[in-house]
Amino acid sequence: MMTPTVDIATRVYNHKWKIDPIVRSLIDTDFYKLLMCQSVFRNRPDTNVTFSLINRTTRIRLADLIDEGELREQLDYVRGLSLTRGESTWLRGNTFYGKRQMFRPDFMEFLENLRLPAYHLEKRDGQYELTFEGKWPEVMLWEIPALAIIMELRSRAVLKDLGRFELQVLYARAMTRIWEKIEKLRELGPDLRIADFGTRRRHSFLWQDWCAQAMIEGLGAPRFTGTSNCLIAMRRDIEAIGTNAHELPMVYAALAETDEELRQAPYRVLADWHEEHDGNLRMILPDTYGTKGFLEHAPDWLAKWTGIRIDSGDPAEGAETAISWWKSRGEDPRDKLIIFSDGLDVAKMTELFHRFSGRVKVSFGWGTLLTNDFRGLVPGDGLAPFSLVCKAVAAEGKPTVKLSDNPEKATGPKDLIQRYRKVFDVGQQQRMDVVV
Amino acid sequence: MMTPTVDIATRVYNHKWKIDPIVRSLIDTDFYKLLMCQSVFRNRPDTNVTFSLINRTTRIRLADLIDEGELREQLDYVRGLSLTRGESTWLRGNTFYGKRQMFRPDFMEFLENLRLPAYHLEKRDGQYELTFEGKWPEVMLWEIPALAIIMELRSRAVLKDLGRFELQVLYARAMTRIWEKIEKLRELGPDLRIADFGTRRRHSFLWQDWCAQAMIEGLGAPRFTGTSNCLIAMRRDIEAIGTNAHELPMVYAALAETDEELRQAPYRVLADWHEEHDGNLRMILPDTYGTKGFLEHAPDWLAKWTGIRIDSGDPAEGAETAISWWKSRGEDPRDKLIIFSDGLDVAKMTELFHRFSGRVKVSFGWGTLLTNDFRGLVPGDGLAPFSLVCKAVAAEGKPTVKLSDNPEKATGPKDLIQRYRKVFDVGQQQRMDVVV
């Protein structure tokens, strides 16, 4: 009676899988991808874009670690996915940020019929060149599954030679580490607001799900505000969190014909967004082409928005810039929300929390160091997180550019980076190491 | 498909249990209890004995922690157990220490028909008085289940208010701790010999089972020599380990009529044992009434035995005494085995290993700090191991006495302790703290 029960049917069922799929649902993705997809579907449905995988940590030779056949199987599996009835019901019926039917019927119909488009994969210099081309609303949904697949295949490659108890102890250590972080966060008191933003660079799906549950038990609502991952939000009955990201201004900017159109592109994005959304969804992400210039030249209606997300550069400096800007536009910063989301861990969040609580509403989007902190847990540190992104690199054949508030994070052709720096009046920027 | 499968039948089956039984098998006990039981069954089957629980750590008020009803349910459950066919087959058919049919048919028949006798339980001063009276071969088999039940009920009492993730992280920390100990032991090289002796003071059955499996993966044979626990030995297909313990000389001594009979009692025990067993089972446990006197007065045939187990006093000193004794009897200590088994942890084992390897064959019986090291893992240190024993306190109405090589471990009435100290010529003894 003490023998662990073997559920024979489950074992037989599992044997039927040719692979162990990493991404098993189209909503195992970040919520903001769906929000942006709806916006794109409405405003730029026929734009052709190219997304591409970029491993900023080139010393990690992904093509040597990950078998190409396995990678193709995982990507092919995702191409076979479609929205299930239950997922559709959840998206159609759920309340997001207190709003019902956030997703319009025409968009839901598009999503229900969607299959992800083809991918292009080849090896070069020990890395994978993985690109996706096609209509923007379809291609953009590859970003998160592509990242999650690469991240988890890399975890599996590193773990495959470990024994059963070595594995158990590895996870025991990782769990202990996360729990100790949560215990420290709890010391920040009842005003803490923090969400899981760790889908894209997670160690694995099951691990992200464990981390989210640990946050539910360790912090709970309202301190744990929810997760960016729709599938986990649905399964664990918590809020799906997110608004918009750099890809919108990057593609809008690439499509601009003139310098003036280019200069206006980031505002055009938010004007489109403004029409669609209100309240908590009106979050400014100002750093695509430099926060300082963006805010200086921003139209007044943007100052009425709910808040700003700070995703690059020195976060305290970014927050001070935002606070000054709101003041200069006659807004009370205490009514405004700042979401920090760049490379956070407990020490940094604690520092930012103490510095800005009371001056603005503070919230954190905790990513890689929540869902993938296996640093130092295997010999050679083979599970340490690394900097992998999947970005829109071109729109209608024209390259995209991102500057951000850290020149180390800039992407795009060198000459175009120069042009953008001039158009957006980006001065000297502080170089900062990109951790994750 | 990712939802954890619920095996409905198992859940329904589990709901039918009125309690969650701690000891679910008569062979969830130490192997040496069965060996001793066979010896007693042959040599002293009709002796009446009393076993009694003794909590040496009086600050832990067990009767306040553990509900009396629950304790009775667990003890009653054990009284309902009988040897299963599979257990009987394993005991009858298995090879122990290379010997087949170690258990004689008449003893196996006794064991197959055995039900544990009644117990007597009452509360006094925040402790439980738990005693067992009856025929020695029956009563003696209460020792291990009684200890395991009290230990695990105490663990449950401390853990019952913890959340799901707090529990998971608690075990994650404990697992990490054990694994780090095993990694350190691995550094001692291929000559290490170590067994699990942790049944009696284990945190729980499942935890002991986990620890044994970790030892299998982390050390493996021949370094991990096996476990004292018969059920785990059977389930995990490893050696059952053990020989004899203090209860034999304690009861033989209590039955002695004269000082001379008393003086001879410990040797009488081993003479009976000598007839029954050879090889690895011929282990001397010399400390019941002081190691020094025991060895000085020992008959020469005892020096031919395989080795000595050192279970109290300073272990290095005990080992030196043993080595000198073998030399004085013309034996080569390098052919002899010393098993250390008193309150061991990694640092002490490492020290003893380095000091005695090459001079004798060294082996360790690792107990409480293998299977119950939860020190510091809950607030108030409520899971720290403590010193609980279940001993033969009387035989045919006469109290038993144990002196050991540490006066802190002496048990019995004060006047009798004085008499025994005189008869066995025990001089000044070094007081040592009893950790576990």
Q: What is the pLDDT of residue B108?
A: 96
A167 part of contact set with chain B, CB < 8 Å: no
Tell me the angle at which helices B259-276 and B414-423 cross, rounded to the nearest 10 degrees: 70
Q: Grade residue B14 by pLDDT with cuts at 50, 70 and 90.
A: low
Taking CB atoms and an 8 Å cut-off, how many pairs form between chains A and B? 57
Q: Which residues of B touch A163 (CB under 8 A)?
A: 217
Q: What is the pLDDT of residue A3?
A: 44
In terms of Cα–Cα distance, which of B156, B184, B153, B185 is closest to B170? B156
Distance CA B99, CA B176 (A): 37
Answer yes or no: do A171 and B171 touch at CB < 8 A: no
Answer yes or no: do B173 and A176 touch at CB < 8 A: yes
Q: Which residues of B touch A24 (CB under 8 A)?
A: 1-2
Work out the minimum CA distance from A141 to partner chain B, whole angstroms. Answer: 21
pLDDT higher than 80, residue A133: yes
SS3 B50: strand
Work out the minimum CA distance from A24 to partner chain B, whole angstroms. Answer: 8
Q: Grade residue B429 by pLDDT with cuts at 50, 70 and 90.
A: confident
In terms of Cα–Cα distance, which of B206, B144, B197, B220 is closest to B175? B206
pLDDT digits (tens, 9 = 90+) for A372-401: 999 999 989 999 989 999 999 999 999 999
In terms of Cα–Cα distance, which of A337, A331, A297 is closest to A319? A337
pLDDT digits (tens, 9 = 90+) for A250-272: 999 999 999 999 999 999 999 99
- Chain B, 207-236: which have a CB under 8 Å from a chain A CB? 213-214, 217-218, 235
Answer yes or no: do B172 and A165 touch at CB < 8 A: no
B171 part of contact set with chain A, CB < 8 Å: yes
Which architecture, in CATH terms, is A18-160+390-399? Answer: Alpha-Beta Barrel (3.20)
- Chain A, 294-353: which have a CB under 8 Å from a chain B CB? none
Q: What is the pLDDT of residue A7?
A: 66
pLDDT higher than 80, residue A13: no
Q: Which of B163, B171, B172 sits opposite A217 (nearest CB)?
A: B163
Q: Grade residue A16 by pLDDT with cuts at 50, 70 and 90.
A: low
pLDDT digits (tens, 9 = 90+) for A70-102: 999 999 999 999 999 999 999 998 888 888 889
**Contact partners, residue B222, CB within 8 Å, separation at least 6:** B193
Q: What is the pLDDT of residue A280?
A: 83
pLDDT higher than 60, residue A6: no
Given a contact cutoff of 8 angstroms between Cβ atoms, the answer to whether B435 and B271 are in contact is: no
Answer yes or no: do B176 and A171 touch at CB < 8 A: no
User: Which long-range contacts (C-beta less than 8 Å, at least 24 apart) are formed by B264-272?
Assistant: B266/B294, B267/B298, B267/B299, B267/B302, B269/B244, B270/B302, B270/B305, B272/B39, B272/B43
Q: Which of A172, A206, A213 sits opposite B175 (nearest CB)?
A: A172
* Chain A residue with minimum CA distance to B176: A169
Peptide bond connecting B222 to the previous residue in cis, omega within 30 degrees of 0: yes
User: What is the ipTM metric for this complex?
Assistant: 0.76
B179 part of contact set with chain A, CB < 8 Å: yes
pLDDT digits (tens, 9 = 90+) for A32-81: 999 999 999 999 999 999 999 999 999 999 999 999 999 999 999 999 99
Q: Grade residue B10 by pLDDT with cuts at 50, 70 and 90.
A: low
Give the pLDDT mean for B206-216. Answer: 96
Give the pLDDT mean for A297-308. Answer: 96
Answer yes or no: do A179 and B172 touch at CB < 8 A: yes
Q: Which of A24, A164, A206 sits opposite B217 (nearest CB)?
A: A164
Q: Which of B165, B176, B205 sits opposite A169 (nearest CB)?
A: B176
**Which of B25, B165, B178 to substitute to test the interface with A, most A CBs within 10 Å?**
B165
CATH number of the structural domain B165-371? 3.20.140.10
> If you search the block for the tokens 């999947």, which residue do you land on?
A390
B5 part of contact set with chain A, CB < 8 Å: yes
Fold annotation for B17-160+388-423: nicotinate phosphoribosyltransferase (3.20.140)
Answer yes or no: do A166 and B2 touch at CB < 8 A: no
In terms of Cα–Cα distance, which of A48, A67, A231, A78 is closest to A143? A78
Q: Which residues of B touch A168 (CB under 8 A)?
A: 175
pLDDT higher than 60, residue B1: no
Q: Which of A10-14, A200-204, B159-163, B256-260 shows the lowest mean pLDDT across its residues?
A: A10-14
> If you search the block for the tokens 């250390």, which residue do you land on?
B340
Give the pLDDT mean for B208-231. Answer: 96
Q: Which residues of B touch A3 (CB under 8 A)?
A: 235
Q: Which of B5, B171, B205 sits opposite A10 (nearest CB)?
A: B5
Q: What is the pLDDT of residue A2?
A: 40
B110 part of contact set with chain A, CB < 8 Å: no
Given a contact cutoff of 8 angstroms between Cβ atoms, the answer to whether A402 and A411 are in contact is: yes
**Which of B84, B168, B184, B377 to substitute to test the interface with A, most A CBs within 10 Å?**
B168
Q: What is the pLDDT of residue A164?
A: 85
**Which of B167, B176, B234 to substitute to test the interface with A, most A CBs within 10 Å?**
B176
User: Which long-range contacts (C-beta less than 8 Å, at least 24 apart) are formed by B112-115?
Assistant: B112/B82, B112/B83, B112/B88, B113/B82, B114/B26, B114/B82, B114/B83, B114/B138, B114/B141, B115/B79, B115/B80, B115/B81, B115/B82
pLDDT digits (tens, 9 = 90+) for B154-206: 999 999 888 888 999 999 999 999 999 999 999 999 999 999 999 999 999 99
Q: What is the pLDDT of residue B435?
A: 63
Give the pLDDT mean for A5-20. Answer: 68
Q: Which of B2, B7, B172 sits opposite A175 (nearest CB)?
A: B172
Work out the minimum CA distance from A393 to partner chain B, whole angstroms. Answer: 34
Q: What is the pLDDT of residue B163?
A: 87
A5 part of contact set with chain B, CB < 8 Å: yes
Mean pLDDT of chain A: 94
SS3 B100: strand
Given a contact cutoff of 8 angstroms between Cβ atoms, the answer to whether B344 and B366 are in contact is: yes
Q: Grade residue B3 by pLDDT with cuts at 50, 70 and 90.
A: very low
Intrachain domains B17-160+388-423 and B165-371 with the same fold: yes
Q: What is the pLDDT of residue B16?
A: 66
pLDDT digits (tens, 9 = 90+) for B60-83: 999 999 999 999 999 999 999 999
**Which of A17, A167, A176 to substitute to test the interface with B, most B CBs within 10 Å?**
A176
Give the pLDDT mean for A115-120. Answer: 98
B77 part of contact set with chain A, CB < 8 Å: no
Q: Rounded to 5 degrees, what are φ and ψ at A139?
A: -60, -40
Q: Which residue ranges make up each domain of chain B?
A: 17-160+388-423, 165-371
Answer yes or no: do A173 and B172 touch at CB < 8 A: yes
Share of chain B above pLDDT 90, in %: 86
Q: What is the dihedral of CA B199, B202, B205, B207, to 10 degrees?
A: -120
